């Protein structure tokens, strides 16, 4: 599917972070930008998916991860993690009828989830 709207364009003003917020899973944190995305887009579930996959074979031990939420069709998305060089580490299909965008990218670096502009 062609990307019509990349949600990251809306969050480019986040550069670095002033705060780190502890995720409910131990050892996982998220930044101001990731918090803004999760609150404004009502997608804390995406942070939960990223955090829950940290012990998945292939993901565990990868210091740098690129997570993409990609629309497949109306309400259906693929959550895909790669190593930053395009090698897919894990993917999963999710249903989210309220997420209105085609693409969202978050990075997870050493247990900290962020929007790419915060790196």
pLDDT, residue 109, reads 98
pLDDT 10s digits, 106-117 = 999 999 999 999
Hey, where are the domains in the chain? Answer: 20-118
pLDDT at residue 3 is higher than 70: no
pTM over 0.85: yes
pLDDT 10s digits, 20-74 = 999 999 999 999 999 999 999 999 999 999 999 999 999 999 999 999 999 999 8
Give the H/E segment covering residue 51: helix 44-52
**DSSP string computed for 1-36:** ---S-BGGGGGTT--S-S-EEE-SSTT-EEEHHHHH
CATH class of the domain comprising 20-118: alpha beta
Indicate the pLDDT class of residue 5, thresholds 50, 70 and 90.
Answer: confident
Tokens standing for residue 37: 């995305």
Strands, sheet with 112-114, edge to edge from the N-terminal-most edge strand: 20-22, 29-31, 112-114, 103-109, 64-73, 76-82, 88-95
């Amino acid at each position: 599917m062609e990307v019509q709207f990349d949600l990251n364009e809306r969050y480019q003003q986040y550069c670095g972070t002033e705060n780190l917020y502890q995720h409910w899973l131990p050892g996982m944190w998220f930044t101001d930008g990731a918090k803004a995305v999760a609150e404004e887009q009502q997608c804390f579930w995406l942070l939960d998916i990223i955090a829950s996959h940290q012990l998945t074979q292939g993901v565990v031990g990868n210091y740098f991860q690129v997570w993409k939420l990609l629309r497949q069709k109306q309400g259906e998305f693929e959550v895909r993690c790669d190593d930053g060089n395009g090698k897919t580490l894990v993917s999963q299909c999710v249903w989210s009828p309220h997420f209105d965008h085609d693409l969202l990218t978050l990075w997870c670096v050493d247990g900290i989830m962020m929007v790419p502009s915060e790196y």
